[in-house]
Chain A
Amino acid sequence: MIKTQDISKVFMIGKKQETELCAVDNLTLEVSKGEVFGFLGPNGAGKTTTVRILTGLIKPTRGNAQVAGFTLGKEDTQIRRNVGILTESPGMYERLSAEKNLTIFANLYEVPEIPKAVNKYLSMLDLWNRRYDAVGSFSKGMRQKLAVARALIHEPQILFLDEPTTGLDPEAAKMVRDFIEELKAEGRTIFMTTHNLDEAEKICDRVGIFKQKLLTQDTPANLRERMFGRKVVFHLREVNPEWVNEVKKVGGVSEAEVVDNKLVVSLKDPEQTNPVIIERLVDVGAQIQFVGEIRHSLEQVYLEMVSSEKGGKA
């Protein structure tokens, strides 16, 4: 669905356009059909620029890409016809009604049955009762929902969501998130930039951490594993330091240590190795209270990646 090869974007800035600013540096990635890809990065990382490039709004300085089967730079109109975009700010026509706003965009996207499509999304997003009201009177959450409807009105193959829940209150953010989940269930391809790592973890099949260049990309679980490995903690009634050596002898265990009254074990495959460790601990007389896996959040992965990038540059 989306395939980029060494996409770069350099802006010329300064009064005389004398300074180069690299917003996107050799971005190569692939997003498959039906996949939800989370594009994570700090402010000013180049996420919005990437979305603008991939939706044919701005031209890359270098590189090439295929979006929805069309070549970027050559078939931009076709790309725009086949993708939907939720921009960072809803950008609705405030004096016009919700229905009029959607009708305008349905016309521009050449939707075949406009009233049907408009009514469908107004109902789906709980805006039906306010359809004739000027958008200027809408709450932030309602505007965002209307912007989502606008992005979907032409049933695009790919949906680009630029910070879909930024600035929304928790309830409105949840509504938008739930709707994205529904779109995911429908099998739509979604490319989503976000700061909200919990959101990315819940919704995205894969995430990419981006700061001018793509630092890493994988499933949230794999990223955690790659960054921190998998760790299991065994809570014991009391700990004998010698048991650490016993546990280390178990195949698949890479590290074991005692932290407070707990035995923390680093291992590759807890599902296979945990029963063996439990058996060994019981054999040596340990009294196991309970066992749990230490889960690192995507936020920890993200912070680790972004800070190591900063460190690398310094």
Chain B
Amino acid sequence: MSTTGHDTRAKGAGPPDRHPEWERLNDLADGRLSGHDAREVGLHLSSCSECRVQLDALRSLAEGAAMLPRAIDPPDGLWDEISASIAAPHSRRRSRPTALWLAAAALALMVLSSGLTALYMQRAGNPAGTLATGGARVPQPAVVGILPASFIETERTYLTSVAEVEMIFAAQRAALTPETVAIVDRALGAIDTAILEARTALLADPANRALADLLETSYRQKLDLLRRTAALHQSS
């Protein structure tokens, strides 16, 4: 790649005596490099003045951009809109959720989901454990209310990760446009509905591998969407 002696290599680990890619230096300058990668690049920087110069230049550029004037006169009537928004009866301040609060919410979701399983089965008109299928009623096993053992740890991992990223998203929510927040909220609503449905069904049929896979897909989608959303404000 380089005419300046910097080697081409894939992202990730590599010997510290090789020059890191320009993109990795960028990521380091932008604070986007993970701990291990940052340490690795840092090790290289400690003995490479050429890369230190590169990094300084990139940081200088970023700092210069950050100091660019942002003073743009707001459009007429903006303050009136803001005032009206504040005065609106439905407006309320969002408090930042704590990790404890989010963990409790995650636990509540699990309990609620389990409870809804029974409700779902009852409302389907199957007190004896039946589900309607194309007008016919077929016998169903009693709702066990326990997820398959292999999935419990998977779900716990996802719930913990989701709670962490939700906290970041909640903190950055105000920095996003209302349109973006609305898109994300709609998407999260759709995913949560899918999670609830699949989880409810999995509780009733714990041995169903396809169901477990579908549920994991929905959890993965939720986590990925939240991560992508949390990263959005970095561009604004």
Q: Judge: A and B partners, yes or no.
A: no
Binding site for B on A (CB under 8 A): none
Binding site for A on B (CB under 8 A): none
